[in-house]
Amino acid sequence: MAQPKIPRDLLPSDPRFGCGPSRIRREVVARLAEPGSVMGTSHRQPPVRHVVAAIREELGALYDLPAGYEVALGNGGATLFWDMATVCLVEKRAATGVYGEFTKKFSTALQGAPFLADPAVFQAPPGDLALPRAVGEVDAYAWAHNETSTGVVAPVSRPDDIAEDSLVIVDATSAAGGLAADVAQTDAYYFSAQKNLASDGGLWLAILSPAAIERSQQLTASPRWVPQMLDLSVAVTNSRADQTLNTPALATLVMVEAQCRWLLDNGGMAWAASRTASTSGILYRWAEDNPLTTPFVTDPGLRSPVVVTIDIDESVDAAHLCARARENGILDIEPYRKLGRNQIRVATFSSIEPSDVEALTACLDWLLEHRD
Ligand SMILES: *Cc1c(COP(=O)(O)O)cnc(C)c1O
Residue 1 in this model has a pLDDT that exceeds 70: no
CA of 192 to the centre of ligand 1 (A): 7
Cα separation, 260 vs 198, in Å, equals 9
What single string gives the DSSP state of each residue in 86-155? HHHT-SS-EEEEE-SHHHHHHHHHHHH-TTSPPPEEEE--TTS-------TT--EEEEESEETTTTEE--
Residue among 95, 68, 80 nearest 168 (CA): 95
Query: E strands of the chain, at which residues?
Result: 70-75, 94-98, 120-123, 140-144, 146-147, 152-153, 167-171, 188-191, 203-208, 293-295, 307-312, 343-347
Is residue 79 lining ligand 1, measured as CB closer than 6 Å? yes
Counts for the chain of helices (H) and strands (E), in that order: 10, 12
Closest residue to atom 2 of ligand 1, CA basis: 173
What interhelical angle do 250-266 and 46-62 show, nearest 10? Answer: 40
Task: Give pLDDT tens digits for 144-192.
Answer: 999 999 999 999 999 999 999 999 999 999 999 999 999 999 999 999 9
Q: Which of 187, 181, 89, 176 is nearest to 139 (CA)?
A: 89
Q: Residue 105: left if φ>0, alpha if ψ -120 to 50, beta else—which one?
A: alpha
For ligand 1, say whether the CB of 206 is within 6 Å of any of its atoms.
no
**What residues have CB less than 8 Å from 274, skipping those under 6 apart?**
none
Query: pLDDT tens, 251-300?
Result: 999 999 999 999 999 999 999 999 999 999 999 999 999 999 999 999 99
pLDDT tens digit string along 29-82?
Answer: 999 999 999 999 999 999 999 999 999 999 999 999 999 999 999 999 999 999
3-state secondary structure of 16: strand
Which pLDDT score is estimated for 2? 73
pLDDT digits (tens, 9 = 90+) for 184-219: 999 999 999 999 999 999 999 999 999 999 999 999
Q: Is the CB of 144 under 6 A from ligand 1?
A: yes
What is the 149 CA–ligand 1 centroid distance (Å)?
Answer: 10
Give residue 174's region: left, alpha or beta (phi > 0; psi -120 to 50): alpha
pLDDT of residue 339: 87
Report the C-alpha gap between 230 and 303 in whole angstroms: 34
Q: How far is CA 145 from the centre of its chain?
A: 8
Peptide bond into 21 cis (omega under 30): yes
Q: How far apart are CA 242 and CA 237, in angstroms?
A: 9
Band of pLDDT at residue 232, cut at 50, 70 and 90: very high
Q: Which atom of ligand 1 is nearest to the CA of 146?
A: 13
Please give the backbone phi and psi of residue 7, each rounded to the nearest 5 degrees, phi first.
Answer: -55, 135
For residue 150 and ligand 1, the question of a CB distance below 6 A is answered with no
- CA angle (234 as vertex; 173, 46 as ends), nearest 5: 85
DSSP 248: -
Name the average pLDDT for the chain.
97
Question: How far, in Å, are 43, 131, 191, 192, 203 from residue 55 at the CA level?
Answer: 14, 30, 13, 13, 12
The pLDDT tens digits of the residues spanning 312-367 come to 999 999 999 999 999 999 999 999 988 889 999 999 999 999 999 999 999 999 99
